[in-house]
Amino acid sequence: MPLYFAYGANMDAAAMALRCPNSRLIGQGRLLRHRFIIMKEGYASVLRDPARSVWGVVWDLALGDVPALDRYEGVAGGLYVKAAQPVAMSGGAKRALIYLGRSTASGAPRPGYMEGVLRAAEAAQLPGPYRREMAGWLRRPAA
């Protein structure tokens, strides 16, 4: 089963249990040399940034759950594309599936979206300074 790095709404264990019932949460991970953004469409993505890191969670993704995750991420409609990236985890770096937003323009989060992401980040016990940085997106106007 592939590893999957979630940094937005899919950090939420209850939501993932509904979307991907055969997948298993492994723990925290960190995508190096990237930064978290909210795309103009109102959803999370990451962009290359050599000075930053994105925290999230790693899932052991059941192959049978991949089509449902692709649908949720809007892959067929072009909202996200899939890639494999090295993710730092306890025990070393591992390659993981990641969904990257096609849009690189930043925007404002959809109503209620960031609140859910922040609750999931807190439940995953992501570092406090990183959660506070993410919370800054609640106050950002659309670009």
The answer to whether residue 68 sits within a structural domain is: yes
Domain containing residue 61: 3-130
Number of domains the chain is built from: 1
- Say what the pLDDT of residue 141 is: 58
Task: Quote the pLDDT of residue 143.
Answer: 46
Rounded to two decimals, what is the model's pTM? 0.94
Q: Does some domain include residue 96?
A: yes
Taking 70 as the pLDDT cut, the residues of the chain under it are 141-143
Say if 83 falls within a structural domain. yes
Per-residue confidence (pLDDT) for residue 129, from 0 to 100: 96
DSSP letter string, the chain: --EEEE-SGGG-HHHHHHH-TT-EEEEEEEEEEEEEEEBTTSSEEEEEEEEEEEEEEEEE--GGGHHHHHHHTTTTTTSEEEEEEEEEETTEEEEEEEEEES--SB-PPPTTHHHHHHHHHHHTT--HHHHHHHHGGGGPPP-
Q: What is the pLDDT of residues 40-49, one digit of tens each?
A: 999 999 999 9
Domain CATH number, residue 48? 3.10.490.10
